[in-house]
């Protein structure tokens, strides 16, 4: 039952230059260097060298400070340090002479904006249409403390503790300070069965264990955070023991919790003159208000898997054109028949091999008219790797429940979905790339045709895009059915069988298919074990890493788990592209021999949808 012909996209397939290139000595998953990250932070915060005259003025000011005996850290006590200086009057210690620059009106070289710095990176993995870059920027106070090697005092807002209950132990050698208002808000949120209430109760239990058997004098001196066995936490925990806060500007209501925490930060700067005091909050408005008052404030970065999601593992890499010349000297090849499919294997050695990962897809598309090569890395030992050729699911004879691959990435995805040795598959891509359709087709083929699995289980996070419509009547499946409209749409396509079967035949087929598909809610997943199931987690970008761990650990023997999502469409508060559970599992499962990932790049829904995604 072939898929009805749909309008083709007028644009071409994702260009090969948009894939990461495999180069000797360079990994296809490239981390951001600390120096480059520091340079970028300084550029964004306006702390870069604007003119040689400004640099000269800054050196003169530093010399004057050294002559007067004022330490750099003590500058926080002065009123001038609290209010930020103009960007042209401050410089960083990091040299920027080698970075890209442009000419200003007076002919002096000034640094290129951060947006242009990121646009230069053309060799990054998908998506082809790059999103605005999400950059984690530290406050200037934090950067100065990093350069001088001083430890900092982080004042935690309540939302940080409720977002990550273990955040107390995530600040390495630095100290953590909890205002009394933070404890008060924790107490207000501890009731209920929500994730936030559970996190609040967990934080309260952790704090109770930390202050157990501690004298009152020891509390004021700071409690070692490593007391409960967290060896990475080398700092101390301080509580607000005095209720005197520094006065804030007139007009700010003193009764509001956020303003009281800001007053505590201002008072700490006066009490601890030589320490760097930094407010950590997930609340954007709280950080904006703090920076407007001249107080250093930062987001909570520890939950971010990647600082730039353009560096997220794509599962695909383009091999260099001279790959066969450099790696084909002592190449071995043989054929094997696995799972009823015959595949060719190549064992070769060369400099590109260490940059690859197991189950990563590789391809070469020569421009001289030679046949392209599409393969998958099956084994890596030092500089030797074993490649396996792929099954061509774009050919109609290899169709999966009537579905054929329409582009290169869909062919890679179907090779993962139809491989019984692959227990975990994640598919990333924008709307219309075929994630749900491919997953359902592969599930129906392996449940009803090959009997590899017993049934298909579908679940997703019930996060509404707009206003919630309230409680829904009926059973669990009836309550979940409005959230599963995407699966119903795809099932209609997959159930368009033989037109000669008649209405009775089509109705019987639909009943059989729907009897093997179960729709479950995430709320009842804890404690379950799925055996021989084909589990599809849709809209996985709205899951937190903790929720994702809860779901993936439900897998029993013979179960395959699929995570589908688009990290550009996150509806859960406090989740970003860098901290999403989908980003988390893609990064953690890369290179595992029984897991695979593919980023789908080309939309196949319709020419209208593709044009809308480009221009809207």
Whole-number pLDDT of residue 349 = 92
CA–CA separation, 349 and 332 (whole Å): 10
3-state DSSP assignment of residue 255: coil
Domains of the chain and CATH, by start: 140-299 (3.40.50.1010), 309-390 (2.40.30), 409-463+473-612 (3.40.50.300)
Characterize the bridge pairing of strands 223-224 and 236-239: antiparallel
Q: Which of 8-22, 58-72, 89-103, 234-248 has the lowest mean pLDDT?
A: 89-103
CA–CA separation, 416 and 596 (whole Å): 7
Of the two residues 25 and 283, the one the predictor is more confident about is: 283
pLDDT in tens, 594-614: 999 999 988 777 888 878 877
Whole-number pLDDT of residue 594 = 94
Of the two residues 98 and 433, the one the predictor is more confident about is: 433
Whole-number pLDDT of residue 419 = 93
Strands (E), 219-360: 223-224, 236-239, 276-280, 297-298, 316-318, 332-338, 341-349
Closest CA to 576 of 533, 545, 603, 599: 545
Closest CA to 211 of 219, 200, 201: 219
Residues forming a β-bridge with 362:
317, 375
Contact 153, 175 (CB under 8 A): yes
Closest CA to 411 of 425, 395, 429, 423: 395
Whole-number pLDDT of residue 117 = 36
Residue 428's contacts (CB-CB under 8 Å, 6 or more residues apart) are 126, 312, 435, 565, 566, 567, 582, 586, 597, 598, 599, 600
- Counted residue by residue, the chain has a size of 616
236-263 mean pLDDT:
82
CA–CA separation, 336 and 597 (whole Å): 24
139-164 mean pLDDT:
87
Q: Which of 29-33, 160-164, 222-226, 379-383 has the lowest mean pLDDT?
A: 29-33
Whole-number pLDDT of residue 340 = 75
Contact 541, 403 (CB under 8 A): no
Of the two residues 563 and 612, the one the predictor is more confident about is: 563
| pLDDT over 70, % of the chain | 70
DSSP structural state of residue 394 = T
φ and ψ at 425, to 5 degrees?
-130, 130
Whole-number pLDDT of residue 44 = 43
Strands (E), 243-284: 276-280
CA–CA separation, 553 and 407 (whole Å): 32
Whole-number pLDDT of residue 71 = 42
Say if residue 203's pLDDT is above 60: yes
CA–CA separation, 510 and 495 (whole Å): 7
CA–CA separation, 548 and 544 (whole Å): 6
Alpha-carbon dihedral sign for residues 181, 187, 192, 197: positive
Residue 94 pLDDT class (50, 70, 90 cuts): very low
Of the two residues 564 and 527, the one the predictor is more confident about is: 564
Residue 446 pLDDT class (50, 70, 90 cuts): very high
433-439 mean pLDDT:
90
Whole-number pLDDT of residue 172 = 86
Residues forming a β-bridge with 595:
424
The pTM of this model reads 0.66
Contact 423, 559 (CB under 8 A): yes
Residue 99 pLDDT class (50, 70, 90 cuts): very low
Backbone dihedral region of 471: left (phi > 0), alpha (psi from -120 to 50 degrees) or beta?
Answer: beta
Mean pLDDT score of the chain: 76
Q: Which of 19-28, 93-102, 510-519, 562-571 has the lowest mean pLDDT?
A: 93-102
Say if residue 322's pLDDT is above 80: yes
Residue 216 pLDDT class (50, 70, 90 cuts): confident
Contact 144, 72 (CB under 8 A): yes
Residue 587 sits at the vertex; the CA angle it makes with 582 and 591, to the nearest 5 degrees, is 130
Say if residue 314's pLDDT is above 60: yes
Say if residue 502's pLDDT is above 70: no
Whole-number pLDDT of residue 561 = 95
pLDDT in tens, 374-428: 999 999 998 899 999 999 999 999 999 888 999 999 999 999 999 999 999 999 9
CA–CA separation, 319 and 352 (whole Å): 8
pLDDT in tens, 523-546: 677 788 899 999 999 889 988 888
551-574 mean pLDDT:
88
What DSSP line would sit under 547-578, residue for residue? HHHHHHTTB-TT-EEEEEE-TT---STT--TT
pLDDT in tens, 107-141: 444 444 433 333 334 344 444 444 444 445 677 88
CA–CA separation, 519 and 481 (whole Å): 8
CA–CA separation, 537 and 457 (whole Å): 9
Whole-number pLDDT of residue 342 = 86
CA–CA separation, 465 and 467 (whole Å): 7
Whole-number pLDDT of residue 120 = 36
Residue 51's contacts (CB-CB under 8 Å, 6 or more residues apart) are 88, 104, 106, 108, 110
CA–CA separation, 616 and 613 (whole Å): 6
Contact 200, 191 (CB under 8 A): no
Alpha-carbon dihedral sign for residues 304, 198, 535, 528: positive
Instruction: Count the Cβ atoms, other than its own, within 10 Å of residue 69.
Output: 7
Angstrom CA distances, 485 to 481, 492, 535, 563, stand at 7, 11, 17, 17
Whole-number pLDDT of residue 115 = 38
φ and ψ at 51, to 5 degrees?
-145, 160
- Give the gyration radius of the chain's Cα atoms: 28
CA–CA separation, 231 and 345 (whole Å): 46
Residue 280 pLDDT class (50, 70, 90 cuts): very high
Contact 378, 360 (CB under 8 A): no
221-232 mean pLDDT:
87
Of the two residues 546 and 50, the one the predictor is more confident about is: 546
CA–CA separation, 165 and 169 (whole Å): 9
Whole-number pLDDT of residue 212 = 87
Say if residue 547's pLDDT is above 90: no
3-state DSSP assignment of residue 514: helix
Angstrom CA distances, 118 to 35, 122, 343, 362, 571, stand at 15, 9, 41, 26, 26
Whole-number pLDDT of residue 380 = 93
Helix H segments across 445-526?
A: 476-480, 485-494, 502-515
Whole-number pLDDT of residue 596 = 95
Of the two residues 133 and 240, the one the predictor is more confident about is: 240
């Amino acid at each position: 039952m072939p898929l009805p012909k749909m309008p083709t996209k007028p644009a071409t397939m994702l260009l090969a230059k948009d894939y990461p290139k495999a180069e000797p000595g360079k990994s296809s998953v490239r981390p951001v260097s600390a120096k480059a990250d520091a340079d970028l932070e300084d550029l964004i915060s306006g702390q870069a060298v604007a003119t040689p005259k400004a640099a000269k003025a800054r050196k003169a000011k530093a010399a004057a400070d050294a002559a007067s005996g004022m330490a750099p850290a003590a500058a926080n006590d002065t009123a001038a340090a609290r209010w930020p200086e103009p960007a042209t009057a401050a410089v960083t210690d990091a040299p920027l002479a080698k970075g890209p620059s442009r000419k200003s009106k007076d002919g002096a070289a000034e640094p290129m904006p951060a947006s242009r710095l990121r646009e230069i990176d053309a060799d990054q993995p998908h998506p082809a249409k790059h999103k605005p870059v999400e950059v984690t920027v530290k406050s200037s106070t934090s950067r100065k403390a990093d350069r001088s090697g001083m430890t900092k005092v982080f004042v935690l807002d309540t939302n940080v503790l409720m977002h990550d209950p273990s955040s107390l132990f995530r600040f390495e050698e630095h100290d953590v300070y909890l205002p009394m208002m933070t404890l008060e808000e924790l107490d207000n949120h501890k009731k209920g069965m929500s994730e936030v209430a559970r996190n609040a109760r967990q934080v309260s239990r952790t704090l109770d264990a930390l202050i157990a058997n501690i004298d009152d004098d020891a509390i004021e001196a700071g409690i070692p955070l490593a007391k409960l066995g967290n060896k990475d936490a080398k700092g101390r925990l301080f509580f607000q023991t005095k209720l005197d806060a520094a006065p804030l500007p007139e007009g700010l209501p003193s009764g509001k919790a956020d303003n009281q925490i800001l007053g505590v930060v201002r008072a700490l700067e006066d009490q601890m003159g030589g320490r760097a005091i930094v407010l950590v909050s997930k609340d954007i408005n709280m950080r904006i208000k703090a920076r407007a008052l001249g107080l250093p404030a930062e987001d909570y970065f520890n939950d971010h898997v990647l600082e730039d999601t353009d560096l997220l593992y794509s599962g695909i890499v383009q091999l260099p054109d001279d790959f066969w010349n450099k790696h084909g000297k002592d190449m071995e090849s043989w054929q094997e028949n696995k799972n009823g499919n015959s595949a060719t294997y190549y064992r070769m050695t060369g400099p590109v091999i260490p940059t690859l990962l197991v189950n990563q897809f590789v391809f070469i598309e020569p421009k001289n008219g030679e046949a392209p090569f599409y393969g998958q890395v099956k084994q890596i030992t030092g500089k030797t790797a074993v490649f396996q050729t792929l099954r061509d699911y774009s050919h109609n004879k290899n169709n999966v429940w009537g579905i054929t691959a329409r582009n290169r990435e869909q062919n890679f995805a179907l090779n993962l979905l139809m491989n019984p040795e692959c227990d975990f598959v994640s598919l990333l891509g924008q709307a219309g790339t075929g994630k749900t359709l491919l997953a359902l087709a592969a599930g129906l083929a392996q449940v009803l045709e090959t009997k590899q699995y017993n049934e298909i289980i579908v679940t997703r996070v019930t996060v509404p895009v707009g206003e919630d419509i309230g409680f829904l009547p009926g059973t669990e499946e009836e309550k979940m059915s409005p959230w599963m409209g995407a699966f119903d749409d795809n099932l209609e396509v997959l159930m368009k069988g033989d037109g000669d079967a008649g209405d009775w035949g089509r109705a019987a087929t639909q009943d059989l298919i729907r009897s093997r598909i179960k729709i479950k809610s995430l709320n009842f997943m804890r404690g379950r074990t799925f055996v021989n199931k084909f589990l599809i987690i849709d809209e996985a970008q709205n899951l937190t890493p903790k929720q994702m761990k809860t779901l993936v650990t439900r897998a029993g023997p013979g179960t395959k788990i699929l995570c589908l999502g688009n990290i550009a469409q996150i509806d859960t508060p406090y989740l970003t592209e860098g901290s999403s559970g989908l980003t988390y599992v893609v990064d953690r499962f890369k290179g595992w021999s029984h897991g695979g990932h593919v980023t789908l790049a080309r939309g196949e829904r319709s020419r209208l949808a593709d044009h809308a995604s480009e221009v809207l």
